[in-house]
Amino acid sequence: MGTAPPTTDARRITAVVGVLSLAVFMSSLDLFIVNLAFPYISRQYPGTSLSSLSWVLNAYTIVFAAVLVPAGRWADRIGRRRLFTAGLVLFSFGSVLCGVAPGVAALIVARVIQAAGAGAMVPASLSLLLAAVPPAVRPKALGTWSALGALGAALGPVIGGALVQANWRWVFWINVPVGVAAVVLAARVVPESKDPNASGRPDVLGAGLLAAAVGLVAFALVKAPAWGWGSASFLGLLAASVVSGVAMVYRSRRHHSPVIELELLRSRTFSGAFAASILYYAGFGAFVLSAVEFLTGVWHYSAVQAGLAIAPGPLMVLPFARLVAPRLAARLGGPGRVAVIGCFVNALAQALWLWRIQVAPSYVTHLLPAQLLGGAGVGLAIPSLLGAGSASLTPARFGTGSGILNTGRQVGTVLGVAGLVAILARVSAVDPLAAYRGGLVLVIAFFAAAGVVSAALLAGRPGSVAAGHGVSDAHGADGAVLNAGVPARAPVPGG
């Protein structure tokens, strides 16, 4: 089966984007929704340490990050809808197991199953969107897809805070009816697509090496605050990750069907979007966790109050991602330039909160303005980074490329959360603001660094990438097909 022709009917496009966005919303939601469930889980299982509970979150993050790229590659080969549906089924099954887990150990195992399903469905969902939606409307579709992913992460504490009031198990059970509905709708409205030139046996060993490289570095970052950043265990895991990565690259250069097409990373825009995504999501992950910890730990908000206090920021994401970001890209000459603006808007929002932060609760005048400005920045930055990275992908590499970009998101999230946890470990009862100010400086540094990388590598005209098997030539025949990140009013390279 060849790659499916782009969907042209407006209603069908809306249905396709809706189903695929629902999946990424679910997977992102589960990265953060469990944070507010920890106290309730520990009450049901007395004697459980916080370090043990942290693996309910860490196991999901590590497995999710490790599976993304191999899953994207296999989606290109065996069929993107097939893998997307399988991932949804596995994710829903894992959610059922989480909800009925008799203890923390069983819950962690169930989270691993859930993460494997999420890691399969996320790159498949993005590659299906790129294959099914015509280039002219991709910017808005990408805006919706990425905005709902960001909403899932940011609304995790909001939804989690409400659900745990009934029972912490509902944090997981809520995924099941949504997952079943998504499976049924995907079979009805999402067209199948895959790489028509795929041949030969997939590089299973290469996939294992890649999963090991990503999983080991994620594991090292998660454990660094407890082990120490200069400990032998931390450095040893980093070394093992590097060895696995080098072995994977060596094998990819020689295998007839490598798990990663190395030509993808030779694209200036693709590699720039990958690097900027790591830095941006490090700031984003640290920002979400910092807000939850500050509201519950310093201002002593309840879980529901903290969720409602965070909500205005996420509500800004969708309109800015869906409406403002594509129009700015058309005016400014590409999504990379909008990504620069979004990154620095986020840095400014956190600088505003750093200036206004205080121990006495004062939400409307002190935190709310930063939340609204930050939500606007998220809506500008996330779809623009995704659009800039995906613009250089050929249809045959939609799954592989989206898997790499999403891996950058997850590794960045782990990096940011680990750095923030290390800083907040020094919170003092006498002066709690000192540690939170340090955390905000870290968040600002990540957002600003993402803006600098975006300005250096993504602010040129879209499509200026190296030609190769996995990326499009800006002046070649593929240019008109692959302009995923350029709005309809902008000139299309090669058109």
- Which residues constitute the domain of residue 295? 10-202+259-482
In the listed set 233, 258, 283, which residue is the last one of a domain according to the structure? 258
In the listed set 222, 239, 258, which residue is the last one of a domain according to the structure? 258
Q: Any idea what DSSP says for residue 462?
A: T
Q: Is the pLDDT of residue 325 over 50?
A: yes
3-class state of residue 203 by DSSP:
coil
Question: Dihedrals φ, ψ of 471, to 5°?
Answer: -130, 155
Q: Are residues 68 and 188 in the same domain?
A: yes
**32, part of any domain:** yes
- Rounded to whole angstroms, the Cα distance separating 217 from 415 reads 9
- Rounded to whole angstroms, the Cα distance separating 438 from 444 reads 10
Q: Are residues 278 and 216 in the same domain?
A: no
Evaluate whether 478 touches 270 at the Cβ level (below 8 Å): no
pTM: 0.79
Q: Work out the burial of residue 47: count CB atoms within 10 Å of its CB; fewer than 13 is exposed, 13-18 middle, 19 or more buried.
A: exposed
Q: Are residues 114 and 140 in the same domain?
A: yes
- Whole-angstrom CA distances from 401 to 334, 388, 425 are 19, 12, 36
Q: Is the pLDDT of residue 238 over 60?
A: yes
Q: Any idea what DSSP says for residue 397?
A: G
The domain that holds 152 is classified in CATH as: 1.20.1250.20
Residues counted in the chain: 495
Q: Is the pLDDT of residue 484 over 50?
A: no
Q: Are residues 296 and 165 in the same domain?
A: yes
**1, part of any domain:** no
> Which token pair is 460?
């040129």
Q: Any idea what DSSP says for residue 192?
A: P
Q: Is the pLDDT of residue 168 over 50?
A: yes
Evaluate whether 280 touches 255 at the Cβ level (below 8 Å): no
Q: Any idea what DSSP says for residue 175?
A: H
Longest dimension (CA), the chain: 65
For residue range 340-370, what is the model confidence (pLDDT) as tens digits?
Answer: 999 999 999 999 999 999 999 999 999 999 9
Percent of the chain residues past pLDDT 90, beyond the cut: 28
Residues 6 or more apart whose Cβ sits within 8 Å of residue 83: 71, 74, 75, 120, 121, 124, 399
What's the mean pLDDT in 243-248? Answer: 92
Give the model's pLDDT for residue 200: 60
**How many helices (DSSP H) and strands (DSSP E) are in the chain?**
19, 0
**417, part of any domain:** yes
Average pLDDT over the chain, rounded to an integer: 81
**488, part of any domain:** no
Q: Any idea what DSSP says for residue 137?
A: G
Question: Which is more confident, 163 or 395?
Answer: 163
**411, part of any domain:** yes
> Which token pair is 44?
């049901």
User: Position 438: which residue type?
Assistant: G
What's the mean pLDDT in 268-277? Answer: 92
